Structure 1
């Protein structure tokens, strides 16, 4: 059985009594579960659940509220399958000459990178952008698409044991500068901007201190676009950034862009064509990938959840 995530919860150290003060038995815990994939109204059922006995450090949690997120719906509907039947209008053809790993990773990360580089600032050759999580799938696509357009990139990554190897790989993709989050806070950043203009666009996938420090280097009237929150910390912006530099904060979600442009198939086709042309010219490659046979899915899932993993797990169906 599977349960959708995204709970707002309350924890208590002692298990609730089985009876209320009035003496009437409390209803057993219940949950929405599904045993097969399909459309949620058809496969999700409300059932009584068993609650595990408390151990020494366990906390009995009473759930108060839970959102239904798009990701929850997608998981119930089914993912990572070898075959499926879809309405023709939902599909977009991918040219046969596009490598399979590029095709498999095309619809999310490169599209996100393309839209963020296109929709928020009118960037020209010689302009620069700054991004954190630069080793992510989106980050790697940003580097390559920007390079093809003559846009300089300042790429922020977390410090790690294999940092020199990661820097080398991102530079090979076309990165102009690769720095750590710690370097963002150092006075030496001034030297970097002697050879490259301050960025007009910042792309944030982390949040927390990384975002605050990255924002300090943005040009006046520049834009920061947030598309993720890996640090699970809020975006903190000094008041001075608004008053004295008039920076703009925006958000982006590729799923919402598709919904907003559902009546503009030509716009989606044009973007995909631009990306496919970059792939054909060797200017856009798939992110660093680890190819895993479908039957080894458990190893792929475990690897995908490990920290400091720059390789995207690709299930070969």
Structure 2
């Protein structure tokens, strides 16, 4: 039985990520057993449900669930994997190299900060201005605690003197700002692009502002900048083996206490949960300045 949201008639089950526990297996199943934890091999399966039937080919087994929570496993395959692939696949960053990103307090941003710190990269992290200075400073300190090198607001980024600040930060050695990660778009991203070094690379994976990314002609010609897009769903579907390796590595970091999962806002979903509660939770993901990633929790998890 499955609850469907947002349509007048049954259409599809939403959700690309989640952690399931196997309740039973068929007699022909060899590599999975009751009690195993699994995630979906491919996107579009539909994880906003209490139960489902699946084949062995539909799922990826979590080989070692000790020391992990279902929420950590259920949130690993999108945001952390997005950050991992963008840091690894577009430019060859060496220890001491810099990257710059907006949306730094998002799930992807927090993951990029932590992975970059572990791998020896330095980061410039842009967050939106908060309603008051105290809230802004609190968020900055939260990201510094994760391993951020520098944290600035969009208004600081947009200031004409910001480029000189970046030069000052990066002038102590040969290391450059080789990579930019963008999930915003609009004028703040245009300002971020100017911070990239010669032959730098901007990777866009989102567009929260719903504004286009404007590519300055002069920077394209004279700085030889590169621009790419990344969609982790397409990457995951095309590389299931690499997805498994990526998930396993991040979960091992989590198990060792080296990687902190993103803050979450949980919504309990039981058989008698009113549909209005679920709709409100989904609608809340569209608002700004949320305390954490929305997660639906079924049963006693």
| TM, length-normalised to structure 2 | 0.77
Alignment of 1:151-190 (within 5 A): 151-161=121-131, 162-186=135-159, 187-190=161-164
Aligned counterpart, 2:114: 144
Q: Distance in 2 between the 1:90 and 1:164 partners?
A: 44
Shift in alpha-carbon separation, 1:199–1:170, aligned structure 2, 3 A: same
Q: Which has the higher contact order (CA 8 A, sep 6+)?
A: 2
Change in Cα spacing, 1:78 to 1:270, as seen in structure 2 (3 Å) is: closer
SS at match of 2:51: coil
- State the partner residue of 1:35: 10
1:279 partnered with 2:254: yes
1:290 alignment partner in structure 2: 265
Larger of the two Rg values belongs to structure = 1
**Does 2:202 align with 1:224?**
yes
1:111 corresponds, among 81, 86, 99, to: 81
Structure 1 residue 3 displacement after superposition? 6.9
Over the aligned positions, Cα root-mean-square deviation in angstroms equals 2.3
Distance 1:174 1:132, change over 3 A: same
- Give the counterpart of 1:80 among 36, 39, 48: 48
Shift of residue 172 of structure 1?
A: 1.1
| Alignment-derived partner of residue 316 in structure 1 | 297
Provide the C-alpha distance between the structure 2 equivalents of 1:38 and 1:112, rounded to a whole number of angstroms: 23
Rate the CA distance shift 1:38–1:149 in 2: closer, same or farther, 3 A: closer
1:194 aligned counterpart, secondary structure = helix
| d(CA) in 2 for partners of 1:136, 1:230 | 11
Aligned length: 251
Gaps of 5+ in 1: 5-32, 40-72
Checking the alignment, whether the CA contact within 8 Å between 1:206 and 1:231 is kept in structure 2 is: yes
Map of 1:131 onto structure 2? 101
Aligned mates of 2:53, 2:165 — CA distance in 1: 55
Contact 1:183-1:189 at 8 Å conserved across structures: no
TM-score calculated relative to the size of structure 1? 0.73
Deviates more, 1:206-215 or 1:278-287: 278-287
Q: CA deviation at 1:302?
A: 4.0
- Offset, 1:289: 1.1
- Say if 1:198 and 1:217, in contact at 8 Å, map to a contact too: no
Structure 1 equivalent of residue 27 of structure 2? none
**1:200 counterpart residue number:** 178
Distance 1:38 1:258 in 2: 19
Quick check: 1:208–1:236 contact (8 Å CA) kept in 2? yes
Could you tell which deviates more after superposition, 183-192 or 97-106? 183-192
Task: Please state how far the C-alpha of 1:36 moved relative to its aligned partner.
Answer: 5.8
SS at match of 1:225: strand
Match of 1:96 among 65, 71, 77: 65
CA distance in 2, matches of 1:103, 1:132: 25
- For 1:291 and 1:3, the matched residues in 2 are separated by 20
Where does the alignment leave 5 or more consecutive residues of structure 2 unmatched?
A: 15-42
**1:206-247 deviations in whole A, cap 9, x for unaligned?**
111111110000011111000111111111011011110000
- Of the structure 1 ranges 289-298 and 249-258, higher mean CA displacement relative to structure 2 is found in 289-298
- The worse-fitting range, judged by mean Cα deviation, of 128-137 and 83-92 is 83-92
